[in-house]
Structure 1
Amino acid sequence: MDYKNIQELIKTVSESQLTSFEIETEGIKIKMEKKEEQVQVERVTVNAPPVQSVINDSLNRESIATNKISEEKIQSNIVSTIEDVAKAVPDESLFVVKSPIVGTMYSSPGDESQNFVKIGSVVKKGDTLCILEAMKLMNEIESEVDGEIVEVLALNEDMVEYGQPLFKIRKK
């Protein structure tokens, strides 16, 4: 069987409805099979890293990036925790002025007047810090210590509760 005969045989089987064909002649055995749209993939070895190595490499890169993000989050959490602890631990030199009554806080004697105190104001014992209105009565809240206002915790015309912190004063 020569090359042309083999080509004709392949062409004939391809064009026919046959799904398999087998012939043996002159010591040559030819077997043909047709399958529906079958794609045969051959494995070709190229100098490429093994799949597991590529997967591990990408996982390592991803974990490094994730670790950097995690490290930043941890550092951020540490900073915020330290700040929270600093706020929670009472500073011995800070005095907190609390509202003795329920009412409306006024930070100045009138609408066009300046505030009694602001952050950075130096106050002496007995200085007026604000006015609390309760049942149409105006109550002046006075400083109980000498020092500097470091934080104003209630705004003008805020409703305040009994015991609510109004000011923080750093004692001198």
Structure 2
Amino acid sequence: MLKIQEIRELIKLIDQSSIDEFTYENEGAKLLLKKSAPEAVYSHAAPAAAEAPVQQAAPVQAAQQSAGQEAPKAEEKPAAESVQDENLVKITSPMVGTFYAASSPETGNYVELGSKVKNDTVVCIVEAMKLFNEIEAETKGEIVEILAENGQLVEYGQPLFLVKPE
């Protein structure tokens, strides 16, 4: 039977490869790993993020109004930004690890604001368990926002960059 660490390593290897589906059977146990198309991940990520702040904002405003407090005007601004973000593509972290904008402190960042990227353009590195994984844009466009700080711990699925598609 596979250990959790071995399964995690298999997930990383498959994620970095061109394999779409992997099946492993041993001693009656079966492990099936499938990749979803990157386009589907990106097209669904923006609307879900846009809906979340709106759903959370309403109870906060209602609670403040019932307590006799005026709702802050700042709540309206993220909703306007969320509408704008729907046209942007998010490049997300495929794993938990440490975000690095460059391959070493002496070299320049892979991308900056305004950088043009293609599907195979490396945009950053995510280091996990002493393995440095190059993250590719997987979309074509222009970097309009960098959402992670150099050396920051990032989660699986966390947005790292916003790209204006071409």
Question: Partner letter of residue 130 of structure 1?
Answer: C
What SS is found at the alignment partner of 1:132?
strand
- Is 1:103 the counterpart of 2:87? The answer is no
How far residue 92 of structure 1 moved from its aligned partner, in angstroms, is 4.0
State the one-letter code of the partner of 1:155.
Answer: E
State the AA in 1 paired with 2:158: Q
- Residue of structure 1 in register with 2:135 after alignment: 141
Q: Give structure 2 stretches of 5+ with no counterpart.
A: 1-69
* Alpha-carbon distance in 1 for matches of 2:160, 2:107: 20
Contiguous gaps of at least 5 residues in structure 1: 1-73
Between the aligned partners of 2:84 and 2:108, the Cα distance in structure 1 is 30
Deviation at 1:147, TM superposition (A): 0.5
Per-residue deviation, 1:82: 4.2
Q: Secondary structure at the match of 1:100?
A: coil
Partner of 2:145: 151
Quote how far apart the aligned CAs of 1:87 are: 2.3
- Selected match of 2:123 from 124, 129, 138: 129
Query: Structure 2 matches for 1:1-172, cutoff 5 A?
Result: 77=73, 80-89=74-83, 91-172=85-166
One-letter code aligned to 2:114 = G
Q: Name which one, 1 or 2, has greater alpha-carbon Rg.
A: 1
Identity of matched residues, %: 48
Return the letter of the residue paired with 1:115: N
How many Å apart are 1:151 and its aligned residue? Answer: 0.4
Render the CA deviation track for 1:34-73: whole Å, top value 9, x for unaligned.
xxxxxxxxxxxxxxxxxxxxxxxxxxxxxxxxxxxxxxxx
Shift of 1:91: 3.5
SS at match of 2:112: coil
